[in-house]
Amino acid sequence: MINENTPTIMTRRLILRQFEAGDAPALFDILSDKEVNTFLPWFPLENMEQARSFLAKNFLDDYGKPSAYRYAVCRKADNRPIGYICLSDAESNDLGYGLKKEFWHKGLISEGAKAVTERIKTAGYPYITATHDVNNPHSGGVMKKIGMAYQYSYVEQWQPKDFPVTFRMYQLNFDGSRQRVFWKYWEKYENHFIEEGL
């Protein structure tokens, strides 16, 4: 299903487009990698059946919604997904992303996230948030590069992996306001604090 609210976006090096059913093998390549999966909120995919199910549940089925920011990150060279960028439907407007290991540290997710964020802003969203594990500072680097600002940290018993993770929460208010903060994680998790110097 094509969602007109999620048009293809071209950047200098990337094609950001909707996922298609035929992308299951590429998605499996990304999400079956245990190292890539370390900081993702699900377990590594184990087979193509899981990949097809994951693709449908987390991407394809969402294109039927009024706004569905679920982008496959593809290189212009072959238009094959090497990652994803998505926006949650929750009140948090949480921005999430993942990338195949061989393409880490090349600025590709930052490049793609800047373009998707601009699209989200144009659509009239007041803000976006994003969180990263303190043990994954490179993810926080992406957040800073797209203009997000650190707000606070909190400790969550992360599910379904079921171990404690300290997350840093970043936010970008599209109207430039510094007063609006999404406090729900702070209120939900008793162990919360503000780190200096971030």
Domain positions in the chain are 9-193
The pLDDT, as a whole number, for residue 26 is 98
Beta bridge partners of 9: 16
C-beta contacts of 51-57 below 8 A and 24+ residues apart: 51/24, 51/25, 51/27, 52/21, 52/24, 54/27, 55/19, 55/21, 55/23, 55/24, 55/27, 56/21
Identify the H or E element spanning 118. Answer: helix 108-122
pLDDT digits (tens, 9 = 90+) for 127-156: 999 999 999 999 999 999 999 999 999 999
pLDDT digits (tens, 9 = 90+) for 151-191: 999 999 999 999 999 999 999 999 989 889 999 999 999 99
pLDDT digits (tens, 9 = 90+) for 30-76: 999 999 999 998 999 999 999 999 999 999 998 887 777 999 999 99
For residue 2, is pLDDT > 80? Answer: no
Q: How many residues are present in the chain?
A: 198
Going 56 to 62 to 64 to 69, the CA torsion angle's sign is negative
* pLDDT bracket for residue 8 (50, 70, 90): very high
4 Cβ contact list (under 8 Å, min separation 6)? none
If one counts every other C-beta atom within 10 angstroms of the C-beta of residue 82, the result is 22
Q: Which of 4, 3, 45 is nearest to 24 (CA)?
A: 45
Mean pLDDT, residues 3-21: 89
Domain spanning 9-193, CATH class: alpha beta
Dist. CA 182–CA 126, nearest whole Å:
11
